[in-house]
Amino acid sequence: MMDFTNQTVLITGSSRGIGLAIAKAFDAAGAHVILHARSEIKPNIYADFKQKPQILQFDIADAEAAEASLKALYKQDNFAGVDVLVNNAGITKDQLAMAMAPNDFAEVVNVNLNGTFNVTQPIFKKMIRQKHGAIINLSSVVGLMGNMGQINYAASKAGIIGLTKSLAKEGARRGIRVNAIAPGMIVSDMTSVLSEETQAKILENIPLSRFGEANEIAEAALFLAGSAYITGQTLSIDGGLYI
């Protein structure tokens, strides 16, 4: 277990699923965790945390709301800054290309890609002044290989990989590392609604013959946050799906 004592970690979209698993992992490693969600986070979500987390509530797709919330965060007394940012928040609106509404394409790209930028830019500016920091962006195996019915999601997640590589080059001289994680099929609310037949077909293409667990993504986030000589990389956690 890596030690993140006295470090502050902000995870977007951390009220459930992968985001919450990442938040719990950093909390267990000693970090002060800042949870984020678009809607209210109920206290029972973080009842078992070692340290009471701070809560931020705003829509990442709203650039002004993101900037205002983060500006207020940095103005708090005794706030030293964000050491690790994990951009996890995102949405899906799946549909085959021929039937996809333009608004559905635009909304997914706006939330997943533009939203990542909206949160990252204000914090990146502060990290430049701090001369240290780690940013981890959640992409997807779909951003690497594409997927039928997800041209909007795939485009947004491929864009995150490009954002990650470019930002890594900009931040390196100031001690800021930027990496991405590309999860494959992870046990979640989304996969739980799939029929047994659909799950079986997906598993045929996964060499490890199982879906991943959210805590396995969390372990990768801790690894990248604590690995001082890794930047600009995309780590696939997909059971071998993208080989």
Provide the residue type at 152 as one letter: N
Cα separation of 237 and 88, whole Å? Answer: 15
Q: With contact defined as beta carbons under 8 Å apart, do 4 and 84 qualify?
A: yes
The C-alpha angle 27, 168, 93, rounded to 5 degrees, equals: 70
| Active site residue ranges | 153
* Region of residue 131 (phi > 0: left; psi between -120 and 50: alpha; otherwise: beta): left
Q: Is the dihedral of CA 70, 72, 73, 75 positive or negative?
A: positive
Q: Check residue 239 and report its DSSP letter.
A: T
DSSP class of residue 186? Answer: B
Token pair, residue 55, equals: 């809560």
